[in-house]
Amino acid sequence: MIANHNVVLVRIGRMGTGPATSAAEHCYSSFPNIRLALVVGVWGGIPFVKGESQEILLGDVVISDSLVHYDYARQLPNGQFIQKDSAYKPKSEVASFLAMLKTRRGSKSLSDSMEGHLGKLQKKLGCSSAYPGILEDRLFESSYRHKHHMPAECSICNGNNNGGASVCEKALLSTCEDLSCDSGKLITRSRQTENAISSSYLPVVHFGPVGSGTKS
């Protein structure tokens, strides 16, 4: 029971649409009266919404108001993304609830509730549930690769300064300090500098489309 609602929690052991579909089918066959399904987890997201008017930082929450299956899209050599499939919209009951959350009153209520629950988690779990700080939330220019930058360090990453895609496995598991990434390539975000973010930073809730697919 969560807030007087019967809730079924399902942990999917592997990533991908196959395991997710299988889990959903088994869940529905075992609990046919389920009215609402929520997919919750850690996602990769774009750093800016609507140009640069909205910034998304590490730890922010994204609630989808539509779903785009990007496996059916086409990406051109110039990076342009052409969507072939239409966005899936939630049913009217869910859409009405989302519309309420987007209002000023609903947004404040959601933020206040999130702050209360997050505070309880941080008291119970300590620093493991706290914002890791600005040094762990760094955004580099999209053309700058996370790789070995010294030519003698790696034959795979070597010669990759012109935007090539070759990056060795070791580099993917290494920190920016280990790879001597250039801090001059960092993009400054106003929410970090203006708010002097600390470990007590409260995440921001964003609403918008979410992409789903098997391509990374």
Q: Which pTM value belongs to this model? A: 0.77
pLDDT digits (tens, 9 = 90+) for 133-180: 777 888 999 888 888 888 777 888 876 454 556 888 899 899 998 888
Place of tokens 């034959």: 155
> How far apart (Å, rounded) are the C-alpha atoms in residues 183 and 177?
10
Q: For 101-122, how does the pLDDT look when each residue is reduced to its tens digit (9 = 90+)? A: 999 999 999 999 998 988 888 8
Smallest CA-to-CA distance from 39 within 215, 202, 203, 211 is with 211
Q: How far is CA 7 from CA 38, 68, 123, in A?
A: 11, 26, 24
pLDDT digits (tens, 9 = 90+) for 15-44: 877 888 889 899 989 999 988 888 888 777
Q: How many CB atoms lie within 10 A of CB 43?
A: 11
